[in-house]
Amino acid sequence: MSTVTRPDPAATAGRDARGVPVLGLTVLYDAHCSLCSFLRDWLGRQPQLVPLRFVAAGSDEARGRYPELDHSVTLEEITVVGDAGQVYRGPAAWVVCLWALREHRPLAHRLSTPSGARLAKGAMLAAAKWRTRQKAGTGSASGAGSAYYNGDGWVYDPRSGWTYHPPGCDSGTCSTR
């Protein structure tokens, strides 16, 4: 579920956080997740319109900077904190990261529409499923270069990308839907 939390009024006393331009974003990412680390590196290499800072979720630094956050949640899904105190989670966090990038801001605007939000949510669910398998020791992270297999016929191999192999009909009782 994606959430955007407004800043605590006490934390932004004397300024209206809704009217404050975003001058920087801090991305809290799971440093023990290879996908998260890869995406952190990718984001860091992109030309940025809004500076992105990266802090390991659940770290002492993250707890010190953002004591009001539930840090167990930041380890479960990407969390981005704006410099005015905005908190973005899940698909909204990915969209705001893309919004910060020069070459991907138009995509962020498309993903912020109702139909684009469904696509962003689907991407987040796929990443969450991959991470769950990684933590369980199955799927593509169980060994270097191994493939991720899903029961619906989609296969991800790091060497060749996504491919679709429709489920077979070996039993003779295949659905004709």
Return per-residue pLDDT of the chain as tens, 177 residues: 444 554 444 444 444 555 667 889 999 998 888 888 888 999 999 999 999 999 999 999 999 999 999 998 888 888 999 998 899 988 889 899 999 999 999 988 988 888 777 777 777 777 767 666 766 665 544 344 455 555 566 776 666 767 777 666 555 555 554
Predicted pLDDT at 20? 65
State how far Cα 24 lies from the chain centre: 18
Predicted pLDDT at 162? 72
Q: How far apart, in whole angstroms, are the C-alpha atoms of residue 140 and residue 25?
A: 30
Q: Tell me the two tokens of residue 79.
A: 């969390």
Q: How far apart, in whole angstroms, are the C-alpha atoms of residue 56 and residue 67?
A: 14
Task: Give long-range contacts, CB 8 A cutoff, 24+ apart: 132-140.
Answer: 134/33, 134/34, 134/35
Predicted pLDDT at 117? 78
Report pTM. 0.63
